Amino acid sequence: MANVAFFELEGWEKGPIKSRLEKGNKLTFVNGPLDDGNLAQVKDVEVLGVFIYSKLDAKRLAKLPKLKMVATFSTGFDHIDMAECTRRGIVVANVPTYGSHTVAEHTMALILALAKKVILCAERTRTGDFSIEGLRTFDLADKHLGMIGFGRIGSQAARMARALSMKVMVYDPYADDNLLDLLRCTRANTLDELLRVSDVITLHTPLTPQTRHIVNKDTLAKMKKGVIIINTARGGLIDTEALVEALDSGHVGGAGLDVLEEETVIKEERQLASPQFASSVNMQVLVANHRLLNKHMNVIITPHNAFNSHEALKRILDTSLDNIGGFLTGKPANAVNGKDLAAKSGKSGVAKKGKK
């Protein structure tokens, strides 16, 4: 029997966890994140299920001498001291992907809403006004979609755009040529090449020092007049001040933003569903700083909700439970320190410490 403890769960998650793991294991559920105050409750734990607010540093790991495995309900794992876990022989497993299709759908929803003026139409008819003056839209068929980034989300969005008969160009040095050919997408050799031809530009790249403000005053000036810009990736990819100026001048025709520049505190989408997130940021300040964007009728801002589907959150839970179940049967999956543990043990693959 394994001693398994979970922190930072939503209420609906407990039922599936019990269904999968209760038989033959001791389960403990602790409200909120793991901290120094509740650490003693799980001092004999062998498997931990946590989210990003549960900090597992060397000091806390030392107080969990029986710990063999950590399952983080997230893609990122910088809340865990990986070196110390590896030194102690503790397997750490994550959720590599869960919402590619979900975020791609939201990307396309923003494109369609702007192209077809869905928000303006709905607001007008809600007041009883059924006139169509000023509501002329444009077709997406045969328009050029420029994608900056072509990972899991970008490639999913490309599939959807091609289904709408859009011409897709991709700027991503790491894009797979075979996948580009399969989806009938064109590779842009330079960013400028993509900026010149695109009617719609979508962002699907991580935020790094190299990509920060990739949409800025200079790159905006190289875009087509009337371009639509969509960002469902990270807010820091866009220089907000430069975007506002381009909207004011009419050079940019519209923007769909699920992320805003102040969201640098957000490391993981599921973080937004956590009660700890609401207490860690001032959302009023976040919104106040973007009132200028909201004055534009051709701007749609959604509250970093692209990831937030029932299916995506269920995939996070399912993958995490698969990771735990696999470990307990000696078949660990998604072990982010698997190679390091194998090298440490001198064996190929992760040591099967969880097998009973």
End-to-end CA distance of the chain: 8
Q: What is the Cα–Cα distance from 340 to 86, expressed in whole angstroms? A: 7
Q: Report how many domains make up the chain.
A: 2
Residue 352 inside a domain? The answer is: no
Q: Domain check: are 60 and 121 in the same one?
A: no
Residue 77 inside a domain? The answer is: yes
Q: Domain check: are 315 and 304 in the same one?
A: no
What DSSP assignment string belongs to 171-233?
Answer: E-TT--HHHHHHTT-EEPSSHHHHHHH-SEEEE-----TTTTTSBSHHHHHTSPTTEEEEE-S
Residue 76 inside a domain? The answer is: yes
Q: What is the Cα–Cα distance from 311 to 202, expressed in whole angstroms? A: 23
Q: Domain check: are 326 and 242 in the same one?
A: no
Residue 283 inside a domain? The answer is: yes
- Report pLDDT for 352: 44
Q: What is the Cα–Cα distance from 227 to 195, expressed in whole angstroms? A: 9
Residue 351 inside a domain? The answer is: no
pLDDT tens-digit profile of 30-56? 999 999 999 999 999 999 999 988 999
Q: Is 199 exposed, middle or buried (0-12, 13-18, 19+ CB in 10 A)?
A: buried
- Report pLDDT for 9: 93
Catalytic (active-site) positions = 234, 263, 304
Q: Domain check: are 217 and 322 in the same one?
A: no
Mean pLDDT per 10-residue interval, the chain, length 356 residues: 95 95 96 94 96 93 97 90 96 94 97 97 95 96 99 97 98 97 98 98 93 96 98 91 91 94 56 57 49 78 90 95 96 92 69 43
Domain limits for position 188: 100-308
What amino acid occupies position 110?
Answer: L
Q: Domain check: are 258 and 110 in the same one?
A: yes
Q: Name residue, tokens 């905006």.
A: 220
Q: Domain check: are 23 and 157 in the same one?
A: no
- pTM of this structure: 0.80
Q: Domain check: are 206 and 221 in the same one?
A: yes
Under 8 Å between Cβ of 96 and 75: yes
Q: Domain check: are 243 and 161 in the same one?
A: yes
Q: Domain check: are 274 and 141 in the same one?
A: yes
pLDDT tens-digit profile of 151-202? 999 999 999 999 999 999 999 999 999 999 999 999 999 999 999 999 999 9
Q: Domain check: are 138 and 228 in the same one?
A: yes
3-class state of residue 73 by DSSP: coil
- Report pLDDT for 347: 54
How do beta strands 227-231 and 200-203 pair? Answer: parallel
Residue 277 inside a domain? The answer is: yes
Q: CATH number of the domain at 280, please.
A: 3.40.50.720
Cα angle for residues 101, 331, 76 (degrees, 5° grid) = 45
Q: Domain check: are 173 and 298 in the same one?
A: yes
Q: Domain check: are 179 and 270 in the same one?
A: yes
Residue 62 inside a domain? The answer is: yes
